[in-house]
């Protein structure tokens, strides 16, 4: 260790000693004037008049003051983010834990706003029992609305919002999501995803707005501003987390090191100019717009894991880009840095990670980092930098003043206003790929409409992954409107809508007793829910059963529409001629009425492809393969309706 590092260590040792003394001999609170001039930490005699407890002080001043009072154990606790099922509230007190999260599906046993708030407040009150009463930060993946919460408004996944390409809409979705999350006592959202996906075989494609960095940046920033509002301390705003830093969208097929995954968490093989112009690009606006936490990517850049990338995290993000917030690891992401956990912790923390999403074995992390500091393998100034960054954000959030949920907000999740907003988003996100003879928009007074496909009547599949469960689920998993219900609600009273999953309408006969021919057929097919690497796919073609379904319905209708519910473009080249119209509806979420709004002309088709639509699997990856001519190019989308 060089002398530059020894001096601050000695000073810090003295500070820590002083802090310990204060704790051992707490002086009785004196009647201080709340408006009194700031005092330096050294002058602060008691906790009651402490700078860190004074809301009129700046977050920086408060963080510095509080840091000066903390023991190493308390500091390392602040750097620890634990999955809620892996820790008891009492352990939050005992280990000085700074943050807890709900992972995908991390809900309370009764899944409603009251029980969410009770769960989060329960952890919070145990955090406040610690010596310095530092409030807890609770995080959640509200990546398309508060997805783990039953009854929340589920907005379209990001790929659909990329098709809508409407920054004002994004801002409003950010606001609404913040309100639904805050209503459950949570003020930290692990969103937005800034991935600029280049290969749609990636299972996280739908979490990405577009293959175009400019569009990703525009939409993600507007959403972030909506989440965070003017002031993070406003009770209805939440801390955003641009993720996954950086290059997550550039991973190369076949490079994943995770079992059963093919591309997720893989290696982004690109030179620095490419990394900067494609993948780093959206971080510039996000930081400019006030991002205060950033999550690191599981992926690597040219063979080095981002979780140990000192150059990218410390020099580029914190240095060059001037990011002042804190850097959080991804779910056990640090563990992947080295098979020896101690070494992994040393490398990741020294690289600049400030908070470790452990997520389960917090004791191991605390032991490893404590030992690393004692062994001087992680310098004390690195710990202080990390903790200062975390505390500063906690002060910005106003957590010290208002750590608990507000019971008056419990009705916000799934409110009518938010569902209307989601419906607008769905309508704007639909992309009309083909429209022979202007079959769409359809009339609302057709005598007979046939609907087919099991995706037509399933809120779970239309919501996709990150809904109630990490992987999402089929069926009636949360309240919403299916496409079928929406069609029924949209048509006039004289229209007979018949639904059969398999496209068989044997018992629907005309006046002469022959099989009736419907004026319109609508087949809804797509991808069953998945998330992350579970969705990595070598083959994106339409299953034979769905092709057969389309063919069956085609026999019984005058005009046929196929709606695709999917997290990405699917290979439809050979099937395109089988139907008059094709609609990409992405993963619309709970508000299926937005689909019917455009099908029946209440709103126009206006969505544009946020990804080029491949002709075949051989063309992939298309993002980087500019020489190929796809089935439909980036930005394609027919317009129809008023």
Q: Rounded to the nearest whole angstrom, what is the least distance from the CB of residue 85 to ligand BGC in the complex?
A: 9
Least Cβ distance, residue 332 to ligand BGC (angstroms): 7
**Cα–Cα nearest to 152, from 483, 410, 403, 408:** 410
The Cα–Cα gap between 224 and 96 comes to: 30
Q: How far is the CB of 364 from ligand BGC (least distance, A)?
A: 18
Provide the minimum distance between the beta carbon of 147 and ligand BGC in the complex, in angstroms, as a whole number: 11
The catalytic position among 65, 457, 527, 532 is: 532
φ, ψ of residue 222 to 5 degrees: the values are -65, -40
Integer angstrom CA distances of residue 17 from 27, 48, 366: 16, 20, 21
Least distance in Å: CB of 526 to ligand BGC? 23
Q: Number of C-alpha atoms within 13 angstroms, CB side, residue 265?
A: 21
- Return the exposure string of 190-203: e unless at least 16 CB atoms fall within 10 Å of the residue's CB, then b: bbbbbbbbbbbbbb
Contact 620, 197 (CB under 8 A): no
Residue 380: is the preceding peptide bond cis (ω within 30°)? no
Nearer to ligand BGC by Cβ, of 52 and 190: the residue is 190
- CB closest to ligand BGC, residue no: 103
- Minimum CB distance to ligand BGC smaller for 141 or for 199: 141
Q: How far is the CB of 541 from ligand BGC (least distance, A)?
A: 27
From residue 166, alpha-carbon distances to 10, 161, 162, 429, 497 in Å are 54, 8, 8, 9, 33
- Residues 432, 534, 327, 57: what is their CA dihedral angle, to the nearest 10 degrees? 70
By C-beta, is 105 or 535 nearer to ligand BGC? 105
SS3 296: strand
The angle that helices 167-182 and 213-228 make with each other, rounded to 10 degrees, is 40
Distance CA 92, CA 82 (A): 9
For the beta carbon of residue 314, count every other beta carbon within 10 angstroms.
18
- Residue the block writes with tokens 């004289």: 494
The catalytic position among 199, 207, 264, 330 is 330
- Reference 483, options 458, 508, 514; nearest CA is 458
Instruction: Give just the sign of the alpha carbon dihedral 469, 474, 478, 483.
Output: positive
**Alpha carbons 44 and 22: distance in angstroms, whole number:** 10
Residue 304's H or E segment, with its range, is: strand 304-305
The answer to whether 318 touches 349, Cβ cutoff 8 Å, is: no
Question: Taking Cα atoms as reference points, which of 2, 93, 79 lies closest to residue 368?
Answer: 79
- Mode of pairing for the β-strands spanning 300-301 and 267-268: parallel
Residue 341 beta carbon to ligand BGC: minimum distance, rounded to whole angstroms? 18
If the CB atoms of residues 103 and 503 are measured against ligand BGC, the closer one turns out to be 103
Angle between helix axes 167-182 and 416-429 (nearest 10 degrees) is 150
Does 330 qualify as catalytic in the annotation? yes
Largest CA distance in the chain: 98
State yes or no: is 494 an active-site residue.
no
Cβ count near 111 (within 10 Å)? 16
User: Rounded to an integer, what distance in angstroms lies between the CA atom of residue 265 and that of residue 250?
Assistant: 10
Q: Which is nearer to ligand BGC, 470 or 530 (CB)?
A: 470
How do strand 300-301 and strand 304-305 relate by DSSP bridges? Answer: antiparallel
CB 536 within 8 A of CB 201: yes
| Closer CB to ligand BGC, 325 or 592, in the complex | 325
The answer to whether the CB of 531 falls within 8 A of the CB of 572 is: no
Q: Which helix (H) or strand (E) holds 5?
A: helix 3-24
Handedness of CA 44, 47, 52, 53 (dihedral sign): negative
Q: How far is the CB of 86 from ligand BGC (least distance, A)?
A: 11
Least Å distance between CB 470 and ligand BGC?
4
| Assigned token pair, 108 | 């309370």
Least distance from ligand BGC to the Cβ atom of residue 237, Å: 19
Q: Which is nearer to ligand BGC, 190 or 613 (CB)?
A: 190
Residue 394 CB, nearest approach to ligand BGC (Å)? 19
For ligand BGC, the binding residues (CB under 6 A) are 103-105, 141, 190, 243, 330-331, 470, 532
- Which residues participate in catalysis according to the annotation? 330, 532
């Amino acid at each position: 260790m060089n002398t530059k590092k020894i001096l601050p260590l000695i000073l810090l040792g003295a500070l820590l000693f002083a802090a310990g003394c204060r704790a051992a001999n707490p002086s009785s609170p004196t009647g201080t004037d709340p408006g009194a001039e700031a005092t330096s930490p050294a002058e602060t005699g008691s906790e009651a008049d402490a700078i860190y407890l004074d809301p009129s002080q700046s977050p920086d001043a408060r963080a510095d003051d509080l840091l000066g009072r903390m023991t190493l154990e308390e500091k390392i606790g602040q750097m620890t983010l634990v999955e809620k099922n892996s820790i008891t509230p009492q352990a939050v007190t005992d280990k000085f834990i700074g943050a807890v999260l709900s992972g995908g599906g991390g809900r309370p046993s009764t899944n409603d706003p009251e029980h969410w708030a009770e769960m989060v407040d329960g952890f919070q009150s145990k955090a406040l029992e610690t010596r310095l009463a530092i409030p807890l930060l609770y995080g959640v993946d509200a990546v398309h609305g508060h997805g783990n919460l039953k009854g929340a408004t589920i907005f379209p996944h990001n790929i659909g919002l990329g098709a809508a390409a409407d920054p004002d809409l994004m801002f409003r979705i950010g606001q609404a999501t913040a309100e639904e999350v805050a209503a459950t006592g949570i003020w930290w959202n692990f969103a937005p995803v800034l991935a600029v996906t280049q290969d749609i075989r990636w299972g996280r494609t739908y979490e990405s707005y577009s293959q175009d960095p400019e569009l990703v940046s525009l939409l993600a920033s507007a959403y972030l501003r909506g989440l965070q509002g003017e002031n993070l301390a406003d009770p209805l705003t939440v801390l955003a987390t641009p993720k996954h830093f950086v290059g997550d969208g550039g991973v190369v097929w076949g490079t994943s090191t995770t079992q059963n995954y093919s591309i997720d968490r893989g290696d982004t093989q690109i030179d620095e100019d490419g990394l900067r112009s494609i993948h780093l690009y959206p971080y510039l606006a996000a930081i400019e717009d006030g991002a205060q936490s950033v999550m690191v990517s599981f992926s690597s850049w040219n063979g080095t894991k981002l979780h140990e990338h000192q150059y990218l995290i410390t020099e580029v993000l914190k240095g060059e880009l001037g990011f002042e917030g804190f850097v959080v690891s991804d779910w056990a992401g640090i563990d992947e840095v080295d098979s020896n956990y101690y070494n992994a912790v040393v490398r990741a923390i020294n690289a600049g990670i400030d908070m470790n999403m452990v997520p389960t074995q917090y004791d191991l992390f605390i032991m490893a980092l404590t030992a690393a500091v004692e062994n001087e393998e992680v310098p004390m100034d690195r710990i202080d930098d990390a903790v200062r960054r975390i505390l500063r954000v906690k002060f910005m959030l106003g957590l010290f003043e208002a750590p608990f949920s507000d019971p008056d907000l419990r009705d916000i999740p799934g409110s009518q206003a938010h569902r209307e907003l989601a419906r607008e988003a769905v309508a704007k996100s639909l992309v009309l790929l083909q429209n022979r003879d202007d079959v769409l928009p359809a009339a609302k007074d057709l005598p007979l409409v046939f609907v087919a496909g099991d995706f037509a009547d399933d809120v779970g599949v239309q919501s996709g992954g990150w809904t109630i469960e990490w992987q999402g689920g089929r069926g009636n998993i949360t309240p919403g409107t299916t496409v079928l219900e929406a069609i029924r609600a949209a048509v006039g009273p004289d229209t007979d809508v018949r639904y059969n999953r398999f496209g068989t309408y044997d018992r629907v006969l005309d006046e002469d007793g022959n099989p009736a021919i419907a004026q319109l057929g609508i087949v809804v097919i797509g991808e069953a829910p998945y998330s992350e690497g579970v969705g990595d796919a070598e083959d994106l073609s339409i299953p034979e059963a769905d092709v057969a379904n389309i063919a069956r319905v085609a026999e019984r209708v005058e005009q046929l529409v196929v709606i695709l519910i999917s997290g990405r473009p699917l290979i439809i080249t050979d099937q395109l001629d089988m139907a008059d119209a094709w609609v990409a509806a992405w993963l619309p979420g709970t508000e299926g009425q937005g689909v019917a709004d455009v099908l029946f002309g209440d709103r126009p088709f206006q969505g544009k492809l946020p990804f080029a639509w491949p002709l075949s699997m051989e063309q992939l990856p298309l993002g980087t393969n500019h020489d190929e001519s796809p089935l439909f190019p980036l930005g394609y989308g027919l317009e129809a309706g008023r």
